[in-house]
């Protein structure tokens, strides 16, 4: 038996997406086996590596959907319960993640973040965190550097519809990267290079039925055709 290598795919690059890159990305949730509070969040959450920790997270995979970095991926955890709490006993990690998730919805649906009308508020209500699986929004991507780990791409922030970069990326324009901060000095020779890390295995979306899609403009998305968030029934 022979093996014809002529039709093999080109080898993939191990270089990171440049710090400060603006891109349209889709978030997939990789189930971690722990139930969330909502019925549709069964086996959705991921626990901490520390068995004594009560932290629960969403294990998110981001895929760039368009442009020069299309199909490139990066990964990030978002705390949704547990960990350090504020003076009211609320998880600080969840408060941060909740703000990010709201921004994702605004970016995906073209909602003005200052719009607190009943119609806009209704679109920000989720049946469960699994509803975020498949959401597509505009992101600013950073390069995270930690001394004990290889460099990695992470979500710097969600780009909102009232920012000029949002409209440009939505229109398919190539927006120049804008690094968020000065790059740290080079690591010591004992540190691992960026390409030394293992690539996490790709996983199926937490809910294949989710069909988030970003509008081409600030026009309102079509009304819901069935119970649940409007973006799931396009």
Q: What integer is the mean pLDDT of 34-60?
A: 96
pLDDT (tens digit per residue) in 79-108: 999 999 999 999 999 999 999 999 999 999
pLDDT value of position 146? 86
Nearest Cα residue to 79 out of 70, 91, 90, 63: 91
Provide mean pLDDT across the span 138-145.
96
Residue 135's closest CA among 16, 230, 9? 230
SS3 per-residue string spanning 61-113:
EEEECCCCCCCCEEEEEEEEECCCECCCCCEHHHHHHHHHHHHHHHHHHCCCC
29 touches 23 (CB < 8 A): no
* Choice between 48 and 222, residue whose per-residue pLDDT is larger: 48
Q: Give yes or no for a contact between 46 and 58, defined as CB atoms under 8 angstroms apart.
A: yes
Alpha-carbon distance of 204 to 171, in angstroms, equals 29
Rounded distance between C-alpha atoms, residue 210 and residue 230, angstroms: 10
**Strand 46-47 versus strand 21-29 pairing type:** unpaired
Specify the DSSP element, H or E, that contains 158: strand 149-158
pLDDT averaged over the chain?
84
**Above 60 in pLDDT, residue 190?**
no
């Amino acid at each position: 038996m022979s093996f014809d290598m002529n039709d093999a795919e080109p080898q993939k690059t191990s270089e990171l997406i440049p710090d400060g890159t603006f891109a349209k990305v889709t978030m997939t949730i990789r189930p971690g086996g722990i139930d969330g509070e909502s019925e549709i969040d069964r086996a959705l959450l991921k626990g901490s590596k520390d068995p004594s920790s009560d932290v629960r997270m969403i294990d998110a995979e981001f895929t760039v959907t368009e442009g020069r970095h299309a199909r490139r991926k990066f990964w990030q955890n978002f705390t949704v319960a547990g960990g350090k709490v504020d003076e009211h006993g609320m998880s600080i990690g969840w408060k941060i993640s909740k703000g990010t998730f709201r921004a994702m919805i605004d970016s995906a649906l073209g909602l003005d973040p200052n719009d607190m009308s009943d119609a806009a508020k209704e679109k920000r209500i989720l049946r469960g965190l699994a509803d975020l699986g498949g959401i597509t929004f505009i992101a600013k991507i950073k390069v995270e550097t930690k001394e004990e780990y290889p460099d990695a791409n992470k979500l710097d922030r969600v780009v909102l519809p009232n920012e000029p970069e949002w409209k440009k990326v939505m229109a398919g324009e190539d927006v120049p990267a804008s690094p968020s901060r000065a790059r740290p000095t080079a690591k010591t020779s004992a540190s691992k290079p960026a390409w030394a890390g293992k690539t996490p295995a790709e996983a199926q979306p937490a809910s294949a039925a989710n069909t988030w899609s970003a509008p081409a403009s600030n026009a309102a998305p079509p009304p819901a055709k069935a119970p649940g968030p409007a973006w799931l029934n396009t």
